[in-house]
Every structure is written in C-alpha cells, then in structure tokens.
Amino acid sequence: MSEISQSPTQRLYRIVEEAMCTGCGLCQSLAGAENVEMCKVASGFERPVVVGELDDSVVDQIYQHCPGIVIEGMPQRLIASDSKYDETWGSYRRMTLGWASDARVRFEASTGGALTALATHLLASGEVDFVLHVKASQQHAIFGQRHLSFDAADVWEATGSRYGPAAPLIDILEILERNQPFAFIGKPCDIAALRNYARQDSRVDQLVKYWLAPVCGGFREPKAVEAYAAELGMAPDVLQHVRFRGRGCPGPTRFESTDGRVIERRYSDFWGEDEAGWSLPFRCKICPDGMAEGADLVAADSWPNCTVDTEAEAEDPGTNTIIARTVAGQALLQSAADARTLTLGKAITPRDMDSYQPHLVNKKQAAAARIEGLMAEGHLGIQHARLRLNRLGEAQGIEFNREQRDGTRQRVREGKASEACPCSGE
C-alpha cells in the first residue's frame, strides 16, 4: 500500500487493517478521545475509530509509539551491570516460584495471585498512590477495561486474567497529569506501548514506579469466545459476563447471562488441547515479546509445557513463576516477601521457563523471519530493538527461517494478516 496518498485516518487504519493493532488504547490518548475512540468494531475486537479530526503529526507520534508496529526490550539504562542475562529471556536478576500468602487471594486470582499481592503491597507500603491495570468490562462481557486501584478492595476487583480485548492506556495522558506515583500492570504489549511513549514524555519515567506484567501467549478472539458460549446455549445478546479463570488454578471458565444462568467449563476445555485451535488474533500469533522484556517484574503460570494437568486441575492452589528483571523489580519482590504478602518458593532458571512457556520461545525464535515475510508483502511489519530477534532466528538455521518467512508471506496473500477497516463500526 502506498503511504504517499494516504490520509492521516487511512494511516491509522492501516495498522488495524494489517492486523497489527494490539488494542492498547494509546492512540486514543495521543489523539484525544474526541478524535479517536476505542470501540468494539465489526471484527469483534476493540479498535481505534476516528470520530473527529486527525492530522499527520499525531499519526506520526502513533507510528513511533504503537506497540503493534514498534516493540523494544528493556531500556539499556535500566539493566544493572551485575544483572543475569539469557539470550531467550533477556536480562533478569531473580527467577523464582511464588504465590500470594493470603490463601483467599491465591484462590481467587488467575494463577497464584502474585500480581494482586504485589499491587496490594505497593499500595499498603505507600510506594505508589495507585495502580493502573484492567478489570472485567462493565459494558462488554468478554472485554477488560482500564481500572485504577487506590486500595486493596480495588485491586481485588481486578484479579484474574482477561483473555479478551482490554485497553489500559486509553487515557494515559490524563493519568500522567495527576502527577502521582503509580504502578502499571499490563500485558507485554501494553508495557511496550508505555515504554515507547516514555521516550517522548519524561513524566512516564518519573511517575511509573513499577512496571509489572503477566507473560502473554495471546488472548482468544472475541468472536470465538462468543461462538463457544453460544454452543453452550448462551447467545451473544444475553452473555453478560465471562470470567476466564481464577478460583483455583486455573479454575473454571464461567459464563453468566442477563437472565441469571451460569455455565462453567473446565479451562482446559475452553482453550482445547491443540494450540492450532486457539484462535488468537494474528498479531498475537507472531508476537515477538510475550515475555515482557520491558517490565520490572513478570508473572506467569508454572505448568510443564504450559499445559494444564487435567487430573490435578481442580486441586491446584496456583503457583506463579516470577521473573524480577530490574533492581526495582527485585527489591519489590523481596519487600513483598519480607512483609509476608508474597511467599517465595524454589529458584528456577531460564531453562525451566522454556519448559513452562515453549510457545513463547517458539514465537520469539520465529519472529524475525515472520516480520521479514510481512514486510516482503508490503506490510508495515514490526520495528524491534533489544530483543535479539535476528540472532535468535539465525540460530534456528536457514531452512527454518525460509519456512517462517514464506509461510507468513502465504498467510498475508490468503488474507490471514488482515482485518476489516474499523471505520465500518459494529
């Protein structure tokens, strides 16, 4: 597609149409909600829709910061010289198992409640005034919505993983205007978006005291979730709330309807055993950074091969793997453990993380060749830095890279790297 003839609106929509939008919401904040609004669109996703004026200078900013097309690892200045380093997992200071010490939190939360416990600890210790993260949307059953937590009760409301669209950065400029220290919990692409924006706005580094993330293998396409619920007898128009997991680890996937019905299915049934059937958004399928290299601290599951043990599914209390990447992340981990908010288990290694998260390792190794394939077809692709994608790819050999590149080119030609223009509305 030629850029020369494109209007600012077409340039923004190009990111979506090439299936690169991660739905973070940053562009709404950069353009102003009166100009760009995150809306549920025909594809089922939450996407930026131009509702007012947009000029090229704003779209230039979006192109610099949009995590769909620009993604970078940890800023070099935040990597202490005595940090450990792994070619796949990046820089880190400590890797350990852990879980929330409060059994109620551990039960309610997505995995072991580490993120809830850390957010609660940061508020209780007064290190931050609030936490920016997401909770279940009040409007759309499957979505998450941006949420500010000022105390433990607010954090509690947001426990659990939302495996649907969620835009935590829709009003990040207003949040920065509060001029209060805060912690940010977001998916790796949300973290990347705010790190990108920090290059332009020094308030980000001044005010965001802690950057926390779940590792992320992607969320499920909303239409696929709706279709699953419909098969169970809960049509989209009566679907009121989906709780994806939690209340045990992983706990059931729970569908609630406007007429008071509740249907629960095992999490392993909801996702299905075969990764090929996970129906992820295209951008998630090629995600180069599910490991959140830009976060101070990362939390994940600890199932071998990232596969739920269906025999033990009902009894597992939940154990997080935790990676403290920076000095700040390591200090937070220790102070939450000292305060007995978090219980730490045995130390783990990057090779343990490989075995827990093989899909993230595979995607990272294939990312450079896939991005090359996108660009060879005239797509924007993803600009990347400090993620070692080229080196990781090269280590896989010429044949592997050819397959990944050509396979991606083929997918582009088949329309699998495309989404409808968000202008068409829901």
- Residues 93 and 327 sit within 8 Å (Cβ to Cβ): yes
Q: How many CB atoms lie within 10 A of CB 426?
A: 10
Among 145, 159, 404, 408, binds ligand FAD (CB under 6 A): 159
How far CA 15 is from CA of 66, 69, 113, 121, 219, in Å, comes to 9, 8, 34, 38, 19
- Interaction of residue 91 with ligand FAD, rule CB under 6 A: no
Q: Which stretch binds ligand FAD (CB under 6 A): 8-16, 36-44, 159-167, 331-339?
A: 159-167
Residue 194 burial (C-beta neighbours within 10 Å; 0-12, 13-18, 19+): buried
Angle CA(127)–CA(338)–CA(184) in degrees, nearest 5?
35
Question: Which candidate, 198, 207, 197, 208, places its Cα nearest to that of 31?
Answer: 197
Task: Indicate the SS3 state at residue 71.
Answer: strand
SS3 call for 151:
coil
Rounded to whole angstroms, how far apart are CA atoms 25 and 165? Answer: 10
Tell me which stretch binds ligand SF4 (CB under 6 A): 62-70, 94-102, 113-121, 142-150. Answer: 62-70
Site for ligand SF4 in 67-96 (CB under 6 A): 67-68
Pick from 19, 21, 54, 299: which binds ligand SF4 (CB under 6 A)?
A: 21
Beta carbon nearer to ligand FAD, 12 or 216: 216
Closest CB to ligand FAD among residues 217, 252: 217
Interaction pattern, residues 267-306, with ligand FAD; x per rule: CB under 6 A: --------------------------------xxx----x
109 in contact with ligand FAD (CB under 6 A): yes
Q: Choose the stretch contacting ligand SF4; rule: CB under 6 A; options: 82-90, 105-113, 279-287, 385-393.
A: 279-287
Q: What is the DSSP letter of 119?
A: H
Site residue total, ligand SF4 (CB under 6 A): 25
Site pattern 165..194 for ligand SF4 (x: CB under 6 A): ----------------------xxx---x-
CA distances from 312 to 105, 246, 253, 354, 370 (A): 20, 15, 16, 22, 37
Stretch that binds ligand FAD, among 14-22, 65-73, 171-179, 215-223 (CB under 6 A): 215-223
Q: Which of 20, 79, 114, 374 binds ligand FAD (CB under 6 A)?
A: 114
Question: For residue 356, what are the contacts with CB-CB under 8 A and spacing of at least 6?
Answer: 300, 301, 302, 303, 304, 305, 306, 321
* Rounded Cα gap, residues 16 and 4, in angstroms: 18
Contact between 22 and ligand SF4 by CB under 6 A: the answer reads yes
CA proximity to 25, closest of 181, 160, 132: 132
Using CA atoms, how far apart are residues 84 and 97, in angstroms rounded to an integer? 17
**219, 228, 270, 271: residue in contact with ligand FAD (rule CB under 6 A):** 219
Point out which span in 65-73, 244-252, 337-345, 367-375 binds ligand SF4 (CB under 6 A). 65-73
Query: Binding partner of residue 380 among ligand SF4, ligand FAD, none, CB under 5 to 8 Å per kind?
Result: none
H helix runs in 43-125, sequence order: 56-65, 103-108, 114-124
Task: State in angstroms the smallest separation of the CB of 217 from ligand FAD.
Answer: 3
Taking the alpha carbons at both ends of the chain, their separation in whole angstroms is 25
Decide: is 145 part of the binding site for ligand FAD (CB under 6 A). no
Q: Are the C-beta atoms of 238 and 257 separated by less than 8 Å?
A: yes
Instruction: Give me 49's structure tokens.
Output: 């829709």
Site of interaction with ligand FAD (CB under 6 A): 109-116, 119, 133-134, 144, 158-163, 166, 168, 185-187, 190, 214-217, 219, 299-301, 306, 320, 357
Q: In the complex, which residues of this chain contact ligand SF4 (CB under 6 A)?
A: 15, 21-27, 48, 62, 66-68, 187-189, 193, 216-219, 283-284, 287, 290
